[in-house]
Each structure stands twice: as structure tokens, then as C-alpha cells.
Structure 1
Amino acid sequence: MENKEIKDLLVPMKQKEDTSEKISSPSRTFLQDARRTFFKNKLAVVSMITLVLIIIMSFVGPGMNDHGIDDQDLSRAKLPARVPVLENISWSGFTGVLSDEFQGDTVEQATTNAISRYSNQEEFIDIEVLDEGDGSRNSAEVKATYHVYEAKDMQDQYYWLGTDTLGRDQWTRLWDGTTVSLLIAFIAAAISLLIGVAYGGIAGYYGGKVDDVLMRILEVLVGIPNLVIILLMMLVLDPGITSIVIALTITGWTGMARIVRGEVMKQKNQEYVLAARTLGQSNWKVITKHLLPNISGIIIINTMFNIPDAIFFEAFLSFIGLGITPPDASLGTLINTGFDNIMLYPYMLVFPAILISVIMIAFNLIGDGLRDAFDPKMHK
């Protein structure tokens, strides 16, 4: 009886013709898979967010206080970083004081060395004896803390990242310099992208004598060092953004051209390209509508790696005095100024060095994430 009741409860399913053909979940395109894989990479996502914040700050940062970019005043030169609230936390590094350790044969001599180091303003210097010594040479050691804002009667003023040797606000100049460095990098990368893709695409697609001629020209350009080109630019143009962009453009596109050429040569004999040719499409349409979309992944990835290279190259040129020159600011000029004062005022070097490191690491991590995202083997 029980079996009969159970049997009555079982209702046979009606078979429909399209039941077996239904897809349980919607199919994803290649770009959707790439986006999904990219956002699974936490480091790449964090780097992208960090980079967006840096770009935003490069525009809004200089206007976040009342200190102008070129507002000079030697009376406030070399002030350490001081931030409201954080100034009360001794280990924060934004307390607005200068601190160092001094040695001498005796405590009195070490104290004298400390006081003379800070302009003999003894009333604004706190001395802490670290080692009283035993009378031998430089055996006594003291720690001196100089309250420089009080000494300059500037207790109500705050310079979030301190000031440079001319009294200019480091916060304002840091973000203004970031804008200049990013601008140079993006312009150089965009120009290199256009030239490299066009050059490599033509060489790879047409092949034969066209490829031979274009590759020989490319090899000549690859053999010219960027520094030599910069020096030649100095003879024609003044040091600045224009000369750096031109120097980066002249040889910066060669790597992109080689990569695009190789990918086009690999793709041009595929079935979809042969089908397009059979349908009578022009070479221009075959390249722009079929080849370039299929190699866009490698182009994007290579561009993401070219941008930090351009930023570093600009910083290097400005550091050795061949790029942006003071009073204009860039990350390279700020690092150069900080390097000259690293022994006495290390904060001038620390902040721009940290920022350029974060920018370069972020771009490289994003490039790694895009490389994995555009690799079909990484899609799950």
C-alpha cells in the first residue's frame, strides 16, 4: 500500500524538444572572462585603486592648503613635516621637530655639538643623555630634539611634508611634480603606442621587402642610447617636458613595434584573416578590424609596462640635471634636492622616493594582472 502511494506521488517529466539544448548559465565573452580574472587578482585591484587615488591627488593635492607652488621664504626653509593631531604622536614622524644623536669626549662637548648644529638656539633644544662615556674619545652621546617651529615663532603653521631649502611647501610641490611626471609618462606612452602599433603592424602584415626595410631602420634606432638623444635634444631645445617627450618618443616605440610585428605575423595566416581576405576586405580593414582587436591584450600589457619605464627615465634625467630643471617640480627634481640634503634633512628625499616607488610598483602589478587576465589559460 505504501509503495502504491509513493508511486502516485511520482509524476513523470514531460520531455520537451529544446530541453537538452538549454544552457544552464549564460556564456561569457573573452573580455568578460578577462575582467573576471583581473578582479580576482587582489594585488592588481589594490594597485589600480592606489594609482587612481594618486592621479586624483596629483590634481587636487596642490590646492589642499594655502601654500603656493613657488611661494619662497628662506625664513621657513628646511622645516620638518608637521601635521595636526599627528604632531602629538612622537613616533609618527610628523611632529615638526628635528632630532639627532651627537657624540663627544664628554656630555658637555656632545651637548655643545648639538646646540651648534641647531643654530645655538639652546632654549628650543631638549637634550637627553644616552651615554655619559668614560672619558675616551667620542664616548659620550646625547640625543637632541630641536623644536624648530617654536624657534621660528610658527607654532600655528603646519607644513604636512615640510619645506625645502628655499622654504617652499613640499606637499604642494610633491603633487605638482607627480602631475608633471605622470603627464610626461602618459604622453610618451601614447605616442609610442601609436607609432609602435602602426609601424609593427605594417611590417608584420606586408612582410617581404617592406618588413626587411622597416626592421633595418628599427635596428638602427635601437642601437642609439636614449641618453645620447637627450644630449642632442639639449642642443636644439631647452631642458623640459618637450625635450624629454621627444627623446622618449624617438626610441620608446621600438619595443612595441617588435612585439606587434611578431603578433601580427603569427595571426595573419589564421583562418579568420584568410576569410576576411576572401570576402574582399581591404588590407586596412583586415588590420584594424581583425588583427588589432585580437592582439589588443598584448598591446595593453606592454603599454602598462612602458609607463613606469618612462616615469623612471624622467626621474633619472631630472636627477642628473638633464630633465626638468628648478624651479619647476617633478619627482626627479624633488629626489635630487632631497639627495643633496639626505644627511641632515632626510625627509626631503623620503616622501618623493616613496611616492615614485609606489607608482612604479602599482603599474607593474597592474601589468601583471592584465597579463594574466588576457591569458586564456588563466581563465577558470
Structure 2
Amino acid sequence: MDNKNQNNIPKELFKPLVRKEDTSEKISSPSRTFGQDARRTLFANKMAMFSIFVLIFIIIMSVVAPIFNEYGNDDQDLSRAKMPPRVPVLEDISWLGFNGTLKGTYEGKDAEDATRKAIARYDNAEDFIDIEVLNEGDGSKNSAKVKATYHIYEAKGLQDTYFWIGTDTLGRDQWTRLWLGTRVSLIIAFVAAVIDLVIGVAYGGISGFYGGKVDNYLQRIVEILVGIPNLVIILLMMLVLQPGIISIVVALTITGWTGMARIVRGEVLKVKSQEFVLAARTLGTPNGTIIRKHLVPNISGIIIINTMFTIPGAIFFEAFLSFIGLGIVPPDASLGSLIDIGFDNLRLYPYLLVFPAILISVIMIAFNIVGDGLRDAFDPKMHK
């Protein structure tokens, strides 16, 4: 644009910039606290929020789901043992696998031989078995194949009965035991988290804040406890206590908090040398108040994050112990004990393993995603 055209622009389009002393340094956007920034970052993380809702749903189901049907945890009946999943409405969709039938492929010298094996496998209930010949064969060994579908609910006179995820080897309802087992696993996990918060934070905070001989003595104790494997402690507890929740909680109480104590100690050593702690000491603030009011809030982010990662670790620890027979023992149920039973029947009744394995995987993945989301939320570098 040349100077001639510029001179033709109406002067009314231009307004002078007036700078006032009271508004020249005014902040136009609202200020937010660190907690508000962390909350906004967490809410913006869709996967973390979805995982939180999933965990809330699982926790609610572990409380209310066992009352959805009339079968209790100890309601045994061998006549209905190893019943496959059957769900109303979904039973009409065959590919979902909730139609209450057992299926298998059997081989024989010919189709007749393979059919006899299938019928023998399913309690000789020939009237309730559908046979589909897949391969007629030529008479050689194992050359014929048939697919058998066993309508076990009709065979046992349970046409109007529904076991949503089947029954176990003693005829107990898997739906009830699955959610009761989830409740037990979550209780152990949250107890481990509380132990970390109460013992680990207090121990690490005192050790890091006082330093000197106090820190030296306390850290030597931690090193001794860290050197004792959890499995050894569990075995010792079994000599004194019966296998179950109490022995697992005692083992976690003895050594489970040491990791949190070390992390808190390191953070306290870093924070206690800052100016606001020195100012509090200069004003005569008691040490306990400094730890509670100044140090712990400033390291709350790392405490929350590590607590969230402690929970899936405790769930896996309980599942491992129950799987090898050192944790929750029958008739009590946990996700680990249910997986152990399902593993023993994997080839013939895979549904006994599938549902508890899926649920424990979802819980552990969800907690880890929430932990990652909290780590990003409490990282100032992630705030925009």
C-alpha cells in the first residue's frame, strides 16, 4: 500500500493506546493454584479419567454384585458343577459363548469312534449332545473328527437356571465368588496403600528431617528389612498364623512400606533445605508442625503417585501367593485363588480362568494408567 492510499484511510478507525499506571501491569488471565493446575491436567487426560470410572465401577460391583443372585459363596452342589456361562438374552447370540453349552472336537478311527469318545466325555448324555462330523476319515488312526455340543443345562434339568459366568468344580456360582474375590484383593491392596501412607511416610519423613544419627540408625533398620524377602516372611507367618488375609497383611506391614519410606526421605532431604522451612524454624515452629504443614504438602504429589503404584503391586503379590497356595485358601476366594483353580481346569473349562484373569488385568492396567495420569498432573512441566 502506497502513502497516497494510507492518507485516504479514515482517522476514526484508529484509537490511541492509553496506558494507565494502575492497569499497565495487570494480569488479564485468572491465577490458578498448583492443585487447580493438577486437577485440570488430570481431567484433560481421557485415559486416566476413563480408568478412574472403571475402578469406581469395579469397587461398587465388588460390594453389590454378590447380592444380584441367590447363590452364596459356600452354596455347593456337585450336581451343578462346572456349568458353563449362561446369560439371558445373550444366550441367543451363539458366538458370544454365553449360551450354556460345552463344545469340543474329538478324533477317532472313524466318525462313529469319534462320536463315542464325545458322548463318553459328556457323561454319556447322548440325547443332549449335537454331533457335527467334520471329517469322515479313511479308517486310519485319528483320521476322523467330530464337533460335539453338549447342552448341559437341559441334561441336568436346569433349563430355567442361569449362571452368568458358570460354576466351579464344586458347583459354586462363579459370579458371586469372582466379585467376593475381587473384594478381598482390593481390601489387601488398600491396606497396603494405608500402610505405605501411615508407616512409610512417617518413617521416611522423620528420617529425612532430623538427619544425623537418627537418619543413620533408621536407614540401617530399613536396609535390614529390605534384605528379607517377602516370601520368607510369608512362610514364617504361616508357622504362626493360618494362610489368609491376616498373614498377607502382616507381611506387608513388616516390609511393604520400605520403598515409600526411602522415597519420602529423599524428597524431604531436598525440600527441608529450602527457604520457607528455614523461615518456619526461625519463627520457632515445632518440628512436628513443620513436617505436617510444610514438608508433607510439598511432597504430596510423589506420595500420591507412589501410593497408586503400590495398589496394583499388592494385588499381584496377593494373586501370586494365592496361586502358589500361600495366600487365600478355599473356601475363601480371591482373584489369585480363582486363577489357580482356573489354571488347573484350563483345557476343559477355560471360562474358570478367563474371567478372573481379565478382571485382574483390567484392575492392574487401570491403576497403572491412573498412576501415570497423576504423575503427569503433579509434574509442573506438564501444566500449560
Using the size of structure 2 for normalisation, the TM-score is 0.95
Task: Give the drift of 1:328.
Answer: 0.9
Deviation at 1:10, TM superposition (A): 5.5
Opposite residue 20 of structure 1, the aligned amino acid is: S
> 2 CA distance for matches of 1:28 and 1:317?
46
Give 1:16 deviation, angstroms. Answer: 3.6
**Structure 2 match to 1:29:** 33
* CA distance in structure 2 between the partners assigned to 1:56 and 1:343 by the alignment: 32
CA pair 273-106 structure 1, distance change in 2 beyond 3 A? same
Misfit runs of 4+, over 6 Å: none
**Which residue of the partner structure matches residue 220 of structure 1?**
224
Higher mean C-alpha deviation, range 155-164 or range 67-76: 67-76
| CA distance in 1 between partners of 2:344 and 2:130 (Å) | 27
Say whether 1:328 aligns with 2:337. no
> 2:319 aligned with 1:315, yes or no?
yes
The one-letter amino acid paired with 1:236 is: V
Per-residue Cα deviation, 1:137-166 (whole angstroms, up to 9, x for no partner): 211111100000000111111000001111
Q: Determine which of 356, 362, 365 is the counterpart of 2:360.
A: 356
Aligned to 1:99: 103
Match of 1:211 in 2: 215
Alpha-carbon displacement from aligned partner over 1:72-105 (angstroms, at most 9, x marks no partner): 1111111000000110111111110000111111
* Amino acid in structure 2 at the alignment position of 1:244: I
Q: CA deviation at 1:357?
A: 0.7
In the alignment, what sits opposite 1:89? 93
Cα 1:12–1:60 change in 2 (3 A) is same
Cα offset, 1:19, TM superposition: 2.1
Between the aligned partners of 1:204 and 1:10, the Cα distance in structure 2 is: 63
Shift, 1:12, TM fit? 4.9
Cα distance change, pair 300–74 in 1 and its aligned pair in 2 (3 A): same
Structure 2 alignment gaps of length 5 or more: 1-6
User: 1:136 Cα deviation (Å)?
Assistant: 2.2
- The corresponding residue for 1:39 is 43
Root-mean-square deviation (Å): 1.6
Between 183-192 and 53-62, report the one with greater CA deviation. 183-192
TM-score normalised by L of structure 1: 0.96
User: C-alpha separation between the residues in 2 aligned to 1:221 and 1:335?
Assistant: 30
Distance of 2:259 and 2:240 partners within structure 1: 26
Whole-angstrom CA distance in 2 between matches of 1:203 and 1:52: 35
Which one-letter code corresponds to 1:330 in the other structure?
S
Letter in 2 for 1:30: F
> Could you report, residue by residue, the CA deviation over 1:20-58 in whole angstroms, capped at 9, with x for unpaired residues?
232221011111111111122222111111111000100
- Residues 312-357 of structure 1: per-residue CA shift (max 9 Å, x gap): 1111111111111111111111111111111111101110111011
Q: What SS class does the counterpart of residue 330 from structure 2 fall into?
A: coil
- Which residue matches 1:79? 83
Q: Who is 2:236 aligned against?
A: 232
Distance 1:155-1:11 versus aligned 2 partners, 3 A rule = same
- Following the alignment from structure 1 to structure 2, what is the Cα–Cα distance between the partners of residues 127 and 39? 55
Report the Cα offset of residue 7 of structure 1: 3.4
% identity of equivalent residues: 75
Aligned position for 1:270: 274
Is 1:113 aligned with 2:117?
Answer: yes
The structural deviation recorded for 1:4 is 9.7
Tell whether 2:60 aligns with 1:56: yes
- Pair 1:339-2:343 in alignment: yes
Partner Cα distance (2:262, 2:138) in 1: 69
**Structure 1 gaps, min length 5:** none
Pairing 1:152–2:156 present: yes
The alpha carbon displacement at 1:13 in A equals 6.1
Amino acid of the structure 2 residue aligned with 1:66? E
Mark the CA change 1:5 to 1:181 in structure 2 (over 3 Å): closer, same or farther.
closer
The residue identity in structure 1 corresponding to 2:46 is: K
Which has the higher mean CA deviation after the structures are superposed, 274-283 or 13-22? 13-22
- 2:145 is paired with a residue of what secondary structure? strand
1:163 aligns with 2:167: yes
Q: Which amino acid aligns with 1:309?
A: G
TM-fit CA distance, 1:211: 1.0
Within 2, Cα distance between the matches of 1:313 and 1:127? 45
Distance 2:9 2:220 in 1: 87
> Aligned equivalents of 1:39 and 1:141: distance in 2?
56
d(CA) in 1 for partners of 2:138, 2:178: 46
